Chain A
Amino acid sequence: MKESGNEADETGSGGPLVVLEKVNKHFGDLHVLKDIDLTVDRGEVVVVIGPSGGGKSTLCRSINRLEPIDGGTILVDGTPLPAEGKALARLRADVGMVFQSFNLFAHKTILQNVTLGPIKVRKVPKAKAEEEAMALLDRVGIANQASKYPAQLSGGQQQRAAIARALAMHPKVMLFDEPTSALDPEMVKEVLDVMTGLAGEGMTMIVVTHEMGFARRAAQKVVFMADGQIVEVNTPDEFFTNAQTDRAKDFLSKILTH
């Protein structure tokens, strides 16, 4: 098996890990991404924030081509996104994704959810994949749930399992699309703690979230998106206390007043 996707790659080319240039995307007549430029460095944590319908999910999903774009370029570790087929599958293996609704494979146990990718995509021997999976599940605090099915777990446990499933592929970058929005309030913290831990270990992360605490604690950069455009890029502290654009101030006043 080739080395790509393992931590060893961090010693690879020194440039930024994810680069978007003039990215455009339409849904029919709707222009959802308008000339998006974004650079994410190795080990950087970027929080994407903004009003509903602004294009945050679409941006996130375009980075592993769950949504194909219709203009511009996206580079992951220096390589443009392949259009289709095996090359695209290989790239996706290097880009971890965590969904709002967890999307754990409903007919497989938690352990099988985590080992499937390593065994089928990375061709890791089953015993080794299971050993690694158990270590990951232990790290996210649900090792004792390994033999259960997703529906038997709480939302917070499911989301942590989904994070473990993505990590098992040794991704170069992790994408999170509102990972805590579907959770009951008391479960938000357990998921954010795992994510904060990951950020502390140097994982490159792009996180769509409205969790200000997480942004302040873990992120180097906040990207404010509205109407398909990046309106402001700032440090978390500056953004939440002293936003530069009226659009961002207006948005913050709405989410801060409740």
Chain B
Amino acid sequence: MDQLFDFSPVFDHHEKILEGFEATVRLAVVSAVLSLILGTILVAMRVSPTPVLRATGTFYVNVMRNTPLTLVLLLSSLCVSDTLGILVSDDPRTNYYWFGVFGLSAYTSTFVCEALRSGINTVPLGQAEAARSIGLTFTQSLRMIILPQAFRTVIAPLGSVLIAMIKNTTVVIVASYAEAAAFMKEMFDDYGASIPIFLGFALGFMVLTLPTGFFFGWLAKRMAVAR
């Protein structure tokens, strides 16, 4: 019983725990950037006037979004990296880091895409018509008029997508890259599953996710488009 409420393992291993969270942050930040870029490309495909691009975008989003992240990560690390022998780096930890990032981004980008697409639907049709009427091409009007307004209306939902992504980094262990949650399991093995260890890690994630939520909420208010 005593051992259940013993905080000492958390304090004794705070360096290792911080190291775990550092790995989490490294995964999250790079995956967030990649997901946003990839999600934007996907949404451009999904609203493009070219049927092939539209079909490809729709197919990709529907497949990725409906596949469990664990499978996506296994595909990325086991199939692509191990079986096909494609390596980003000779150092295994760096290599698996990148394949973790790729898997996580490939998956998260579909949610970014769908959030953006709902944002595009809130931009009045007249905005696109006005853009076309001054001679902007489809791509220009998407880039300069539609997407900037769509982004601003979905900042808050994008925040939720990124929070979900931060928590999803805990699955990346299946791609052989250890982050905070992997260290937690390690500590459970060493000390038994105790509430302090659990609390320590849960708190760690909240330190990452809560400010993310507050930041996106603040940004959404600040960037709102008045109509």
Chain A residues proximal to chain B, CB less than 8 Å: 64, 66, 84-86, 89-90, 92-97, 99, 101, 103-107, 116-117, 120-121, 149, 151-152, 162, 165-166, 169
Contact = CB atoms under 8 A, between A and B. Distances in A.
B226 interface: yes
A107 B132 CA distance: 16
A89, A107, A121: which has the most chain B beta carbons within 10 Å?
Answer: A107
B130 A107 contact: no
A94 B135 CA distance: 8
Given A106-B149, A151-B227, A93 B130 contact: no
Nearest to A121: B135
A116 B226 contact: no
A116 B144 CA distance: 9
B68 interface: no
A93 B130 CA distance: 11
Given A104-B130, A105-B145, A89 B135 contact: yes
Interface residues of B, number: 22
Contacts of A105: 127, 130-131, 145
Interface in B122-169: 124, 126-127, 129-137, 140, 144-145, 148-149, 152
B145 A151 contact: no
Contacts of B225: 106-107
Given A85-B137, A103-B129, A166-B133, 4 more contacts: A64-B133, A66-B132, A92-B132, A105-B145
Given A92-B132, A121-B135, A169-B135, A103 B226 contact: no
Given A106-B225, A107-B149, A151-B227, A165 B134 contact: yes
Contact of A120 (B124, B133, B144, B227): B144
B38 to A, nearest CB: 23
Contacts of B126: 99, 101, 103
Given A103-B126, A107-B152, A151 B226 contact: yes
B161 to A, nearest CB: 22
A165 B129 CA distance: 14
15 contacts: A85-B137, A89-B137, A92-B133, A92-B135, A93-B134, A93-B135, A95-B133, A99-B130, A106-B149, A106-B227, A107-B148, A107-B152, A121-B134, A151-B227, A169-B135
Nearest to B128: A103
Contacts of A103: 124, 126-127, 129-130
Nearest to A152: B226
Nearest to B131: A105
Nearest to B143: A120
